[in-house]
Amino acid sequence: MPKKIPYLTKKHLIVLADELAEDKIFYNSMIAWHEKYKRLTDYCNSANDRFDIKTFNKRIKSTYEHRCSKLDVKPELLRFGVA
């Protein structure tokens, strides 16, 4: 019998999006970031029927821009394909 995936709340999804945004800054590999992004979005989608990929991506983008502004780094959002 397959294990049931634990339900993710809105707060869980926010934390995961913020983690991906931070990873965008520090990952050296576009492939590694996309693989993590794909795994997390697939998991989120299966754990919460109301998961909204557009909202998730907006959170990644806004967190990424905020973090980069503090680091004096110009955001290169298209570098990883999620804008």
Give the integer Cα–Cα distance in Å for 32 and 23: 10
How confident is the model over 16-59, as pLDDT tens digits?
999 999 998 888 788 889 999 999 999 999 999 899 999 999 99
Sign of torsion over alpha carbons 23, 33, 59, 40: negative
The residue with greater pLDDT, 69 or 57, is: 57
